[in-house]
Amino acid sequence: MTSHQPGQAPPLVLTVAGSDSGGGAGIQADLKTMLANGVHGMSVIAAVTAQNSLGVQGYWELPPEAVRAQLDSVLSDIGVDAVKTGMLASKPLVELVAEVLGEVAAPVVVDPVGVSKHGDSLLAQDAVEAVRTKLLPVATVVTPNLFEVEQLTGVKVVDESGMLAAAEAVKELGPAWVLVKGGHLPGEPADLLFDGTSEYRYTAERHDNRHTHGTGCTLASAIASNLAKGEPVPEAVEKAKRYVTGAIAEGFPLGAGIGPVDHGWNLHRS
Ligand SMILES: Nc1ncnc2c1ncn2[C@@H]1O[C@H](COP(=O)(O)OP(=O)(O)O)[C@@H](O)[C@H]1O
Ligand SMILES: Cc1ncc(COP(=O)(O)OP(=O)(O)O)c(N)n1
């Protein structure tokens, strides 16, 4: 877990995402994941959701100047070793974040958040095109689930055999690597990583735990943390998959609906 010497700064990871008041997804999941993966987490808040285990009751995006100011504060003084993006809510915010990250040398992990587990939209309809044409081209790794693959490319995946065609369609949009997440298919939760040439498949035990709120944010933040430590993309994904699988196994009830994964599961063990 330790990735730095005492008194020295750990690797620096920035999340640009939305706040989840219930603490299971979004910025809160990202920062907990970063702590559990041995990096210093920083946050640029793009939107604030009123959210709990039952769903999203409302959201409010920040003005672009507030998001730009947060980005400038972090980038001009502290710097980043990796960036993760999550809920960006609106077309102006997607365009702004893509423009700024296009100038950043560090790897960028894009979780193209479209809807929450409960089916609540977290991205304006007119922002999807900006994700496709502006944000994906600056991504080192993009991590769509199967609904997001369909939203971005029109490709519908009904079983594992369709995942490569889905990854190829997303790759056409310009990211260096695509990780198609198969967690919503029945059976083993298999994910496919693709860079246009090589394919890597990651499988894990399925945990029939209903407390899976925040899985996508957690996986993407763990990948960003591993990239910040200097791991190559396939190893960064492999370690992140192991981390999210452990977190899902220990997801816990909270409120009356879907509880969060346990971001600190690996810390309780050590
Ligand atoms: N029940 C489960 N047991 C184990 N792993 C899972 C389960 N559900 C999803 N996963 C894995 O969790 C990660 C996040 O995927 P997913 O839940 O599909 O993302 P999202 O939150 O974006 O919908 C993926 O690696 C996926 O394979
Ligand atoms: C503020 C915020 N950001 C992202 C999400 C979606 O996160 P995800 O990890 O895909 O988790 P589920 O919503 O699928 O449980 C969110 N809900 N809120």
Per-residue confidence at 1, pLDDT binned at 50, 70, 90? low
Note the pLDDT of residue 211.
94
What is the overall mean pLDDT for the chain?
Answer: 96
Per-residue confidence at 122, pLDDT binned at 50, 70, 90? very high
Residue 182 alpha carbon to ligand 1 centre in Å: 7
Q: Read off the pTM.
A: 0.98
ipTM: 0.98
Cα(216)–Cα(117) distance, integer angstroms: 10
Note the pLDDT of residue 172.
98
Token readout for 28 is: 């809160």
154 CB-contact burial (10 Å; exposed 0-12 / middle 13-18 / buried 19+): exposed
**Residue of 22, 24, 41, 216 marked catalytic:** 216
Ligand 2 pocket test, pick from 122, 123, 212, 223 with the greatest ligand atom count within 8 Å of Cβ, gives 122
Which ligand sits nearest to residue 190's alpha carbon?
1
pLDDT over 70 (residue 3): no
pLDDT over 60 (residue 102): yes
Note the pLDDT of residue 270.
58
SS3 annotation, the chain: CCCCCCCCCCCEEEEEEEEECCCCCHHHHHHHHHHHCCCEEEEEEEEEEEEECCEEEEEEECCHHHHHHHHHHHHHHHCCCEEEECCCECHHHHHHHHHHHCCCCCCEEECCCCECCCCCECECHHHHHHHHHHHHHHCCEECCEHHHHHHHHCCCCCCHHHHHHHHHHHHCCCCCEEEEECCCCCCCCCEEEECCCCEEEECCCCCCCCCCECHHHHHHHHHHHHHHCCCCHHHHHHHHHHHHHHHHHCCCCCCCCCCECCCCHHHHHC
Count CB atoms within 10 A of the CB of residue 165: 13
Cα(38)–Cα(5) distance, integer angstroms: 11
> 183 CB under 6 A from ligand 1?
yes
Per-residue confidence at 117, pLDDT binned at 50, 70, 90? confident
Residue 56 alpha carbon to ligand 1 centre in Å: 19
Is 230 marked active-site? no
Is 91 marked active-site? no
The size of the chain, in residues, is: 270
Sheet of strand 82-85, all strands in order from the earlier edge strand to the far edge: 55-61, 40-52, 12-20, 82-85, 108-110, 141-142, 177-181, 191-194, 199-202
Is 214 marked active-site? yes
Q: For the segment 212-240, what is each residue's pLDDT rounded down to a tens digit?
A: 999 999 999 999 999 999 999 999 999 99
Residue 20 alpha carbon to ligand 2 centre in Å: 8
| Residue 15 backbone class (left: φ over 0; alpha: ψ -120 to 50; beta: rest) | beta
**Residue of 32, 49, 217, 246 marked catalytic:** 217
Place of tokens 């079983």: 159
- Identify which of 221, 237, 216 has the alpha carbon closest to the alpha carbon of residue 33: 221
Per-residue pLDDT, averaged over 134-149, amounts to 98
Q: At what angle do helices 215-228 and 233-249 cross, to 10 degrees?
A: 140
Q: Which residues line ligand 2 (CB under 6 A)?
A: 17-18, 20, 25-26, 49, 51, 86-87, 113, 116-117, 122, 213-217
Ligand 2 pocket test, pick from 117, 243, 258, 262 with the greatest ligand atom count within 8 Å of Cβ, gives 117
